[in-house]
Amino acid sequence: MNKLFKQTLLALAATVATVGASAATIKIINADPAGVGFNDTTPATPVGGNEGTTIGEQRMNVYKKVAKTWGKVLPEGPAIKIQATWEALSCTSTSAVLGSAGAVSVWRDFPNAPAAGTWYSAALANTLAGSDLDEGTEPEIISRFNVNLGAANCLAGQSFYLGLDGNAPTGQIDFAVVLTHEVGHGLGFQALTSGSTGARIADETGVAFPSQWERMMFDNTAGKTWFDMTDAERAKSAINPRGLVWTGANVTTDMPSVLSKGTPILTVKSDKFPAIAGAYQVGPASFGPALSSSAIKGTIARVIDQADGVTGLACNPLSAENAALVAGNVALVDRGTCSFTIKVKNAQDAGALAVIVADNTAGGPPAGLGGADATVTIPSVRITLDDGIKLKTVLTPTDPAKHAVRAVLGVDKAFYAGADAAGRVMLYTPNPYQSGSSVSHWDTLATRNLLMEPAINADLPTFKVSAPKDLTLELLKDIGW
Ligand SMILES: [Zn+2]
């Protein structure tokens, strides 16, 4: 029996809340010091069905309900102990790590292990073995949440919504959803094998073993699974945008009831410049109408630098010249300086049919366009920096009628959004590699949005982990739960 990945634990303390036990029993170990996090005594008004009267109590009430949600759908087994703390996690004024969680240890060749010589996360290993493999000395999962969220240097102005009803107002992040996501990682929604180096976890004698995930991680370009790859091949696969898929049977079977048919796509048509014609990958917007089978068709008009010194970013109301260019056309603008919603709204106000935002940093696939603005009524998408440059080389900015490069923004009905042609759901493999996000999440193209995408989307339902609302439980079943 081997155990690794042991983390140094904080002093365990205080309260243990046990939730169960019709199926799995989950114990939350509150390891916060007095007055902090789950022990924060700041008075709070009950909100959204959460009757707690302090911030700390409300936070714990959400955790208990999340633990109950997971407990109900997982098989019976030894208690799953989750250590929980509130700490300073990395943030800037515009982004923040909301939380993080993972298995405390991984195990192989334990009693009843489904596959030999293969790592499993601690909670799953215990359940498969039917006993607590470290005899209860450690939690199986560690979870941390960002205690500074909302401060000036930490996603300023945002806060966690602590209601239990899924009605987080705009500007608040539903803590229940974040928690459900993080516990999902801890239960086994993590590749274990390194995506940045491709290296497998080695035991204390230095011998490396695959994780159970590897058998279901299939690279469509390489034509093989991570299980059959070298370290170098795995590292390459981890940055193969939209090229790595999950082949597990539970996910693949339930996928059609969760994802919608039709993957967003930009088709560029040009008789004059055949080299730029073809299909372009797009990242969809979280605001405005989604692309649909009723495609938007129009000539592409590039927003140009304005006479008043304002550059072609569409961060200000468009000049008369730019407005004339984009009216009735599809506006092409650059990413940068202001939010996506401002750019799209300015193009909309000038009469654009839709907006294409060209990225200003290299890499792929094109990420989505984040933000919220209920007054945006036209669709918008992001394309990569390289694709933006390709288009801009042929667009005569001052006269779209002359270059006549046309855009068709719609969906490809041959694909489910977030799955490959064979109906296998894509894992998140952006290039460059994103530490903490790459590989161990679904691709952001998934529509409906999934719980285990790298960023928490505002439209996720609360306390849902399986089809037809989600696919997290299906993946956990695929690895042995
Ligand atoms: Zn995550």
Instruction: Band the pLDDT of 2: cuts 50, 70, 90.
Output: very low
End-to-end Cα distance, the chain: 20
Per-residue pLDDT tens over the stretch 249-276? 999 999 999 999 999 999 999 998 999 9
Domains of the chain: 2-188 (no CATH), 208-259+421-481 (no CATH), 261-416 (3.50.30.30)
Q: What pLDDT is recorded for position 311?
A: 72
Task: Say yes or no to pLDDT of 18 above 60.
Answer: no
Distances from the Cα of 124 to the Cαs of 18, 128, 129, 132, 194, in angstroms?
18, 6, 8, 10, 19
Structure tokens at 146: 């960002």
Q: Per-residue confidence at 33, pLDDT binned at 50, 70, 90?
A: very high
CA of 350 to the centre of ligand 1 (A): 39
Going from the Cα of 141 to the center of ligand 1, the distance in angstroms, rounded, reads 14
- Cα(102) to centroid of ligand 1, in Å? 9
Q: How far is the CA of 126 from the centre of ligand 1 (A)?
A: 23
Q: Report the mean per-residue pLDDT for the chain.
A: 91
pLDDT score recorded for residue 60? 97
Q: What are the tens digits of pLDDT across the range 352-399?
A: 999 999 999 998 889 889 888 899 999 999 999 999 999 988 887 667
Which pLDDT does position 96 carry in this prediction?
84
What spacing in Å lies between the alpha carbon of 275 and ligand 1's midpoint?
39
Q: How does residue 457 score in pLDDT terms, banded at 50, 70 and 90? A: confident
Question: pLDDT, tens digit, for every residue of 316-338?
Answer: 899 888 899 999 999 999 999 88
For the chain, give the percent of residues with pLDDT over 70. 94
For residue 278, how far is its CA from the centre of ligand 1 (angstroms)?
Answer: 34
Helices 175-187 + 55-73 axis angle, to 10: 50
pLDDT on residue 8: 36
For residue 397, the CA-to-ligand 1 centroid distance in Å is: 41
Which of 139-143, 152-156, 279-283, 462-466 shows the lowest per-residue confidence on average (mean pLDDT)? 152-156
Tell me how far the alpha carbon of residue 404 lies from the centroid of ligand 1, in angstroms. 43
Query: How far apart are the CA of 370 and the centre of ligand 1, in A?
Result: 17
Q: How many CB atoms lie within 10 A of CB 202?
A: 12
Q: How many Å lie between the centroid of ligand 1 and the Cα of residue 452?
A: 6
